[in-house]
Amino acid sequence: MDISEVLKHTSPQLFLPNIQATDKNSALTELVKGLIDGTEINNADNIMQMLQSRENLGSTAVGPGIAFPHGRTLSVQRLTILIGRCPEGVDFDSEDGDPTHLFFVLIAPPQDSGHQYIKSLATLIDRVQDADLRDALMAAEDYDAFCAAMKGDE
């Protein structure tokens, strides 16, 4: 799956460039609110519970300064990706102990044929290994600039 295909599952309404959260739980709350505000999804409590359960399985802060909260829930009809940026950084229980600045939230329905969201996760994780790209993503002025940086020379 290429990065352009992955980015089809997000939108300018699902881009939160300036998250103010100061801890993991408030970060998740802000991200879920962004999902509710930016889509027709309405079961915030269910999505929050699902994401918290996923974090209890193991922190999703696996990239350098990046977390990928994700999971499947009945509350969505299609794969939806929200992008969040936290300039100050937040403790998201990362393995290296460093603060998390960038979030890719992937929410998929239970029947996700072809495991689209697993493939999307893999593509995103692979793409953000480049330190220069991560700097560009944090500096991107808006959603379009963010997506252009993600696509790079593709």
- Considering only residues 30-49, where is the footprint of another protein by CB under 8 A? 41-43, 45-46, 49
Q: CA 87 to CA 39: how far, in whole Å?
A: 24
Query: Residue 142 interacts with another protein (CB under 8 A)?
Result: no
Quote the least distance from Cβ 20 to another protein, whole Å.
26
Alpha helices in the chain (DSSP H): 3-7, 24-38, 44-57, 116-127, 131-139, 143-151
Query: Residue 121 interacts with another protein (CB under 8 A)?
Result: yes
Cβ neighbours, 10 Å, residue 86: 25
**Stretch near another protein under the rule CB under 8 A, chosen from 22-30, 60-68, 79-87, 97-105:** 60-68
Q: Which of 22, 77, 130, 152 binds another protein (CB under 8 A)?
A: 77
Query: Residue 75 interacts with another protein (CB under 8 A)?
Result: yes
Q: Look at residues 84, 61, 81 and name the one whose alpha carbon lies nearest to residue 71.
A: 81
